[in-house]
A = this chain, B = another copy of it.
């Protein structure tokens, strides 16, 4: 962990205040069973709105969004598998990962053989419950540890998924912090995973802390746009609302995810290689002293898949710690509160703040006296006589700073 004191933009992070917000959000949000629609998602956004003034948007089931349609809304109250003794051997109340996300309701008795095709495990990680979904194909199922699975004995089981999958709406939220320019910087994060800590709760938490940091700045050069909502279908809906304007105004953006584990950093670069964001983030990473690697854009991943699709081609990167799919705890019950740490989250926050700082200060100076040299003696105290080396140095500095190609360009 880098000491905050050693770094000037990062020094502005108040470790105590931010640490307290992290603890509060983890405690309240981790237990919720979220999905791409439903009350879990709504409760999550309502909780975050205590820190970020969110505008909540509901999009009805059936609405066409590009090549997609908003699906039915999913809600769940309870789910279990009971053995013949009436014991809950698989229990949604112990882990909301036990239910295949978006399962259709069921309440029925069946033999082990009938049940088996609906059970999902990870034989290679026999203590982990996998996290699985079936958003667009009607199905029901249970996820359990492989040890649980192996312990099942033949017999009759009572299977219950007490929920609804019916027309409703998809919920997403946004917030805008205006700046001097209408050029936007986007932070996009998703809130559709149940009790999973690094992927995904770390993303909404960092985004929330960034909002607080930016809101407290005395002034902002750029306008900051924040998206919270479901992955994929929510990002598509957000693009349906704002894509055209983002194409005109978006200067840079981040998909904020996988920010809390103890691994080293990975920056997934923008699809279109010639952009200011990659230069800014790599500059920050190089000067931060943290261990990191930069990877070029690849077409799988998170919502950068939508933002970077050829029709939008937005300059979106993703600054993560361990990358989704690359660490064994990913999408299992092992991606829990022990897997992340407040220190790791705050270190990631610090780097995001440094990136914002670099973007805000990335300026090109304009020469106000381009025709001939400025008359130096009007501006600086020059030595009287012409032979000293000193006066030449001053000329040199002025002439250099009048060069039109200094600094990174934004546009």
Listed in ascending order, the chain A residues whose CB lies under 8 Å from chain B are 65-68, 100, 120, 130-134, 136-137, 139, 232, 235-236, 239, 243, 298-300, 305-306, 309-312, 331, 367, 369-375, 377-378, 382, 384-387, 392, 395-396, 399-400, 402-404
- Is there contact, CB below 8 Å, between A309 and B132? no
Closest Cβ of chain B to A325, distance in Å, is 8
Given A130-B387, A133-B385, A378-B67: A372 and B299 interface contact (C-beta under 8 Å): no
- Is there contact, CB below 8 Å, between A377 and B136? yes
- Is there contact, CB below 8 Å, between A386 and B132? yes
Closest Cβ of chain B to A169, distance in Å, is 19
**List of B residues within 8 angstroms of A375 by Cβ:** 67-68, 136
**List of B residues within 8 angstroms of A137 by Cβ:** 377, 382, 384
- Is there contact, CB below 8 Å, between B239 and A395? no
Q: A68-B375, A133-B386, A299-B396 are in contact. List 11 more A-B contacts (CB 8 A).
A: A65-B372, A67-B374, A100-B385, A130-B387, A305-B399, A309-B370, A309-B371, A310-B370, A310-B404, A311-B372, A312-B370
**List of B residues within 8 angstroms of A384 by Cβ:** 134, 137, 139
Closest Cβ of chain B to A130, distance in Å, is 6
Instruction: Please name the residue on chain B nearest to A325 by beta carbon.
Output: B392
Closest Cβ of chain B to A352, distance in Å, is 25
**List of B residues within 8 angstroms of A331 by Cβ:** 386-387
- Is there contact, CB below 8 Å, between B132 and A369? no
Given A134-B385, A331-B387, A385-B134: A373 and B67 interface contact (C-beta under 8 Å): yes
